[in-house]
Chain A
Amino acid sequence: MASLTPRRRRATDWTNALFVLPYLIVFVAMIVVPLAWGMWLSTTKSDLFGTEGFVGLTNFVRLFGDPIFLQTVWNTFYFVLLTVPLLAVLGLALALVLNRQARWAAVLRTIFFASTVLSVTVVTLVWRLVFLPDSGLLSVVTRALGGTPIAFLNDETLAMPAIAITTIWWCIGLPMVLFLAALQQVPRALYEAAALDNASRWRTLTRITLPAIRRTFALVIIIEVILQFQLFGQPQLMTLGGPNNATRPIVLFIYETGWRQWELGYASAAAQVLFAMILIAAMVQYWLSSRREAR
């Protein structure tokens, strides 16, 4: 009897693993294998018809000498710089004003989050109709004010800011609700104490509210950096990466190299570079959130 128990135990242990097995199969098939495959592909010369062979780091060397790829890296950073600080600051501002029980605040919260549920194709369709040179909303307004309409999406310096505005309109809901959740966590007692001390509105904000949500602010920045690094649909649909590559981000480079030129090895190498960048950001996020839990 005594010798039977361990074997019986082990048998049940293995059947227990059956619960996680279905997911693990999909996980291995759709994440582990493709990840390894992608890394291997990035060291080969591959196209539509197959792999021609191992080329070591040639693809990576080529990437860092490829002016178009380097520009897409710059464009991606530029886009992140245009959107992330504004998303964080505007999201915080909205949350500070709308952190109320009142009905009007609830209505406004609904409005500011609404665009988040739309797909990128609807968002770009809407905004192309805003930016359209002759019949867009902005042109109509400009003309009504007596000005000359500008073709934002055809202008090398204005196209990226136009895409950034579109993106901020689309994505502002998430930072707002993350800040709202954080504001709900600030202990009421702190505000009551501040009120007893007759602290001004500004002092309450800078001495109590902002320090209390410091870590959320950092988290929002990181989450948005990771999200906006993956810019793809907006330029693919609004500008095709133009004019003159001014709005071509890394992901669009990967897509076009992979599915337009069918240079799969080269595209995989670009994907690995992007992966490394996102991984660094994700590690910072993990570090920040685990620090929050430690407190």
Chain B
Amino acid sequence: MRFGRTHPVALTLIVIAAVLMMVPLFWVLALSFKANAALMADTNSVFSLPYTLANYRTLFGDGQVFRWIMNSLIVSLGMTAGVLILSSLAGYGFARLDFPGRSVLFVIVLLGLAVPEQAVIIARHQMLSLVSMHNTYGALILPGLSAPFGVFLMTQYFRAIPRDIDEAALLDGASRFKIFWKVLLPLTIPAQATLGIFTFLSAWNDYWWPLISATNKQMFTLTVGIASTQMNFAQTEGLGFLMAQAVLAGLPILIVYLFFQKYIVQAVAGAAGR
């Protein structure tokens, strides 16, 4: 590798910082391969043989973690699909179509961007209690569908598409919906990817809402499940087991990140900078 014109001091500092960023992760990885008994006796044993897969065997044998991963997948994919559909329809409506009260409604939706989860979560919880929806996938997905960010993003994207394209299709006698579905939607795929990745990641990592909505262990998402075993830190099956769980929860998303890094960074930065 060529380090070019970078100042050696800056370079040294940043490499040290990068190592510090990774050390905690390697620590967890190393602990997950040690027998609980060995760790209890002396943590320094982590630096020497023997290593074992026992923690992973316990984890996979339990099966509970897989249930949580399944739940997380269902909730994240469901929310992503829902957000993409609702936001695309609404974005097209706000960007292209005329109907009474359009601009007022759009401004109201934009104001929704300023409403933090904390301001609505208690009432959401009560409302879904009233209709006995807690501990269902629906309850875990529904609040996430209301995030105005997707509508904002899609409206902007549809607005940027030249109007000539719709008008040509309109002259050909295509209906509004057909123009949306066949002509414009394929042009928005980059925005769909950004919004989809961002929604999936936020749903996968969401903690507070699933924590209060899913109280039944069978309905825990992965984040809540990991939290629940973490809560009784002292009485758990041991550090090694906890670490194996952390690896299982963290590694897949890190691998996905390595593959889709460009899109993930774009999506996260775009959502923050709105």
Contact = CB atoms under 8 A, between A and B. Distances in A.
A38 B39 contact: no
A228 B233 CA distance: 26
A35 B119 contact: yes
Q: Chain A interface residue count: which class?
A: 35 or more
Contacts of B264: 117
B258 interface: yes
A105 B19 CA distance: 14
B230 A237 contact: yes
B214 to A, nearest CB: 13
Contacts of B99: 13-14, 16-17, 20
A20 B227 contact: no
Contact of B230 (A103, A112, A121, A178): A121
Given A27-B109, A117-B201, A219-B273, A279 B98 contact: no
Contacts of A128: 230, 233
Contacts of B74: none
B127 A275 contact: no
Contacts of B44: 140
A274 interface: yes
A127 B212 CA distance: 24
Q: Looking at A27, A232, A259, A286, which has the most chain B CB atoms within 10 Å of its CB? A: A27
Interface in B98-149: 98-100, 102, 105, 109, 112-127, 142-143, 145-146, 148
B120 A30 contact: yes
Interface in A268-295: 268, 271-272, 274-275, 278-279, 282-283, 286, 289
Contacts of B112: 27, 31-32
A38 B224 CA distance: 25
Contacts of A251: 118, 208
Contact of B265 (A18, A122, A177, A264): A177
A174 B272 contact: yes
B35 interface: no
B239 to A, nearest CB: 7
A110 B18 CA distance: 10
A78 interface: no
Contacts of B256: 117
Interface stretch (B4-12, B48-56, B57-65, B162-170): B4-12
Interface string A248-266: 0001001100110000100
Contacts of A230: 116-118
A contact patch SS: helix
B265 A111 contact: no
B189 interface: no
A175 B180 CA distance: 36
Contact of B86 (A22, A108, A114, A121): A22
B93 A112 contact: no
Contacts of A219: 273
B66 to A, nearest CB: 17
B contact patch SS: helix
Contacts of B233: 128
Q: Chain B interface residue count: which class?
A: 35 or more
Interface in A1-43: 13-20, 22-24, 26-27, 29-35, 37-38, 41
A143 to B, nearest CB: 8
Contact of A178 (B22, B90, B109, B273): B273
A233 interface: yes
B87 A31 contact: no
30 contacts: A22-B89, A23-B86, A26-B146, A34-B123, A37-B123, A41-B123, A104-B3, A113-B261, A113-B265, A114-B21, A119-B226, A121-B207, A126-B27, A126-B28, A127-B24, A129-B27, A129-B239, A135-B239, A137-B27, A140-B44, A177-B265, A178-B273, A230-B117, A251-B118, A268-B122, A271-B119, A272-B119, A274-B118, A278-B118, A282-B114
Given A31-B146, A33-B127, A110-B261, 17 more contacts: A23-B87, A26-B145, A30-B142, A35-B123, A38-B123, A41-B122, A100-B4, A117-B254, A118-B253, A119-B226, A125-B245, A126-B28, A129-B242, A130-B27, A230-B117, A254-B118, A264-B126
Interface of A: 13-20, 22-24, 26-27, 29-35, 37-38, 41, 94, 97-98, 100, 102-104, 108, 110-122, 124-130, 134-137, 139-140, 169, 172-174, 177-178, 181, 201, 219, 223, 226, 230, 232-233, 237, 251, 254-255, 258-259, 264, 267-268, 271-272, 274-275, 278-279, 282-283, 286, 289
Interface of B: 1-4, 6-7, 10-11, 14-15, 17-18, 21-25, 27-28, 31, 39, 43-44, 85-87, 89-90, 92-94, 97-100, 102, 105, 109, 112-127, 142-143, 145-146, 148, 151, 176, 180, 201, 204-205, 207-208, 212, 222-224, 226-227, 230-231, 233, 239, 242-243, 245-246, 249-250, 253-254, 256-258, 261, 264-265, 268-269, 272-273
